[in-house]
């Protein structure tokens, strides 16, 4: 298991190339983007498309992140059956995910998807633990 943690790093955007991994891997990764400045438009289209490994994305405690755009997060969820997103869902809207109103399993799946994103980070902000 690999953990990438970006906690309270003031990250406001995730570029299309932020997580372009070169090689495929079966090693699971957890990407933690808690307590940053992310919002519904922080993620460029394609920013989660090249993780190339099972990924759990944790986005909790981003107060301005009030919705997830289907164009960004659905390809992430579809790219690997093990991909997950987790956020705090107090006043959360899922734009473009009309099925969510009637299917709580989709909501649970989306809540385990937001773990691998970030444009401007320095190697000093990167924490990796292997088990």
Q: Which two tokens stand for residue 86?
A: 């987790």
pLDDT higher than 70, residue 104: no
> Domain span at residue 58?
2-125
Quote the CA–CA distance of 112 and 87 in Å, as a whole number: 8
Count structural domains, the chain.
1
pLDDT at 109 over 90: no
b/e burial code for range 37-75 (CB count within 10 A of at least 16 → b): ebebebbbebbbeebbbbbbbbbeebeebeebbbebbbe
Q: What is the mean pLDDT of residues 101-107?
A: 47
Q: Is there a domain that residue 23 lies in?
A: yes
Over range 41-66, report the average pLDDT.
Answer: 91
User: Which parts of 2-131 fold into alpha helices (H)?
Assistant: 70-79, 104-110
Residue 36 lies in a domain: yes
In a domain, 100, yes or no: yes
Strands (E), 8-97: 29-32, 55-58, 67-69, 84-86, 93-95
- 1-33 tens-digit pLDDT: 889 999 899 999 999 999 999 999 999 999 999
- 131 inside domain: no
Q: What is the pTM of this model?
A: 0.65
**Angle 85-99-114 (CA atoms, 0-180°, nearest 5)?**
10
**Is residue 109 included in any domain, yes or no?**
yes
Q: Are 11 and 121 in contact (CB under 8 A)?
A: yes
């Amino acid at each position: 298991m690999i953990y990438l943690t970006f906690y309270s790093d003031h990250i406001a955007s995730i570029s299309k190339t932020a997580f372009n991994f070169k090689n495929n891997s079966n090693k699971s990764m957890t990407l933690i983007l808690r307590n940053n400045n992310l919002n519904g438009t922080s993620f460029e289209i394609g920013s989660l498309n090249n993780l190339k490994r099972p990924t759990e994305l944790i986005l909790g405690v981003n107060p301005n992140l009030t919705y997830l755009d289907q164009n960004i997060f659905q390809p992430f969820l579809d790219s690997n059956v093990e991909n997950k997103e987790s956020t705090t869902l107090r006043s959360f809207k899922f734009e473009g995910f009309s099925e969510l109103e009637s299917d709580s399993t989709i909501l649970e799946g989306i809540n385990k998807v937001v773990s691998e994103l970030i444009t401007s980070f320095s190697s000093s902000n990167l924490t990796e633990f292997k088990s």
